[in-house]
Amino acid sequence: MEPGKYSVGLDIGTTKIVAIIGKENEYGKIEVLGIGKSKSLGVHRGVVNNITQTIKSIQQAVEEAEAASGLKISSVVVGIAGQHIRSLQHSDYITRPDSEQVINEDDVDILVNQVYKLIMLPGEEIIHVLPQEYKVDGQAEIKEPIGMYGGRLEANFHVVVGQVSSIKNVGRCIKSAGLDLGSITLEPLASANAVLSQEEKEAGIALIDIGGGTTDVAIFKDGIIRHTAVIPFGGNVITEDIREGCSIIEKQAELLKIKFGSAWPGENKDNEIVSIPGLRGREPKEITLKNLSKIIHARVVEIIEQVYMEIKNYGHEDQKKKLIGGIVLTGGGSQLKHLKQLVEYITGMDTRIGYPNEHLAGDSDQDIASPLYATGVGLLMNAIETNAKNKAVALEAKEEAEEIAAVENVSAGESDYRQEEASEAAPKKEVKVERKSIFEKWSDKLKDFLDNAE
């Protein structure tokens, strides 16, 4: 299979690194061709802190995915998270030179480009500029301005900002692992694409992706992203607490959490006990499940309260902004027993566990539909979309080249009118090819930087 036919999403997490190869089938669903997973070493709370280890882990995951699919991976779409991510609201406008012409994609691009030029704090860079709604000549609540007449085009934007050094470190790891960086996407956005349906995004929903090192939040209302946040706590801090509270090693703590852990301490009887073998011939340790649940409960409540604070910050308590769809939990941490009930109890919002099977082909492997892979599947979807866009642009460029060649070959005997029309069409079309999404430009800039850094 030629490289253009399939795409790759790479999720660099705190606990695991996942590479997923897939393509779109004829029904528009995603078919997973191969998956590779490795233990993530060198990532702390979503941020790379040991480049050599991370490169090794990436290579391991990629090799596994290549072996499973029999394909070669070259370019990947990567997710970014970590406590350095913050988001802000911003509105901006442009005055169009000719209000007699309809608004086209170029006008929207100029407006978005303008937002990318905002001055951020030192060491910060804009990752995403997501238009929320537009105003044309003061007429508000327009979702799609293209094709309308108007002189002044303004929009509210959701701007996601991250630390330059963290982004460059991720880029450096990808490059050193022998891969090309297709683009970088915010992880909560990727997870949301994989797990949420359009109806839920319309109704209003908060996606909570509980990973190993971070908990990502993405809030949608009226089909538009309204708020994103990354909370620097995840499943690992729960494991840490169990380790310290029970004086056992991390591996045992992790197993305890997965096998016997529960977020609701009331259900365990006092006499339920787990015996853990001691180290090197020491006495085994006995731990009551009630105590285990209490330790987990305390930490989970803290995470949920922080998430609920983000939901309140967005303005959920305001009648117009109410999230009717409630909460969707995903990520590895969402598999904790009774977590759904605890979240409902604390927030009073409807809650469900989100599986990334919304867009997967029907015959997909059961494993891939686990909440663990929500981000990976979302990044794969993003990669497929980017691939399709690039193909469309390339195709357009080819067609234009042919058209222009045809125009030049028009016989001199034909009317000037025909030639005029053709020459008008040619330059207009050429502009289209040049248009690169601002994000691709940004990715190119990052690639250049990495090339020069060596």
Which tokens sit at 241? 């607490």
The predicted structure's pLDDT at residue 428: 44
CATH number at residue 273: 3.30.420.40
Residue 204 within a domain: no
Per-residue pLDDT reduced to its tens digit, 380-404: 999 999 888 888 888 888 998 988 8
Measured CA distances, 376 to 156, 332, 384 (Å): 29, 12, 12
The per-residue pLDDT for 358 is 82
Q: How far apart are CA 208 and CA 303, in angstroms?
A: 11
pLDDT of residue 205: 95
More reliable by pLDDT, 387 or 362: 387
Q: Return the residue matching tokens 């407006």.
A: 111
Using alpha carbons only, how large is the chain's radius of gyration in Å? 25
Instruction: Give residue 431's pLDDT band: very low, low, confident or very high (50, 70, 90).
Output: very low
Residue 422 has pLDDT above 50, yes or no: no
Burial 409-429 (b: 16+ CB within 10 A, else e): eeeeeeeeeeeeebeeeeeeb
Reply yes or no on whether the pLDDT at 326 is more than 90. yes
* Per-residue pLDDT tens digits for 168-201: 999 999 999 999 998 899 999 999 999 999 999 9
Q: What does the DSSP assignment read for 176-239? A: HTT-EEEEEEEHHHHHHHHH--HHHHHH-EEEEEE-SS-EEEEEEETTEEEEEEEES--HHHHH
Dihedral (Cα; 431, 432, 438, 439), 10-degree rounding: -150
Residue 99: what pLDDT? 87
Ordered alpha helix ranges (H), 261-373: 289-314, 339-347
Task: State the Cα–Cα distance between residues 373 and 356, nearest whole angstrom.
Answer: 7
Rounded mean pLDDT of 325-344?
Answer: 94
| Structural domain contains residue 293 | yes
- pLDDT at 96 > cutoff 90: yes
Burial (Cβ within 10 Å: 0-12, 13-18, ≥19) of residue 121: exposed
Q: Regarding predicted confidence, which is higher, 269 or 221?
A: 221
SS3 content of the chain, % helix, strand, coil (to 5): 45, 25, 25
Question: Span 332-359, mean pLDDT?
Answer: 93
Q: What is the pLDDT of residue 408?
A: 75
Q: Cα dihedral sign for 17, 21, 23, 27?
A: negative
Residue 3's pLDDT band (cuts 50, 70, 90)? low
Asked whether residue 420 carries a pLDDT value surpassing 80, the answer given is no
Local confidence band at 410 (pLDDT 50, 70, 90 cut-offs): low
Distance (Å, whole) CA 73 – CA 307? 36
Lowest mean pLDDT among 107-111, 130-134, 241-245, 447-451: 447-451
As a whole number of angstroms, the distance between CA 307 and CA 322 comes to 16
pLDDT digits (tens, 9 = 90+) for 273-324: 999 888 888 888 899 999 999 999 999 999 999 999 999 999 888 888 899 9
Domain holding 258, by residue range, is 235-300
pTM over 0.75: yes
How many Å apart are CA 93 and CA 290, to the nearest integer?
58
Residue 248 carries which DSSP code? -
The verdict on residue 279 lying in a domain is yes
Average pLDDT value for the chain: 88
Task: Report yes or no on 285 lying in a domain.
Answer: yes
What is the number of domains present in the chain? 1
Cα–Cα dist 144/150, whole Å:
13
The DSSP symbol for 127 reads E
Percentage with pLDDT > 70 across the chain: 89
Share of the chain above pLDDT 90, in %: 66
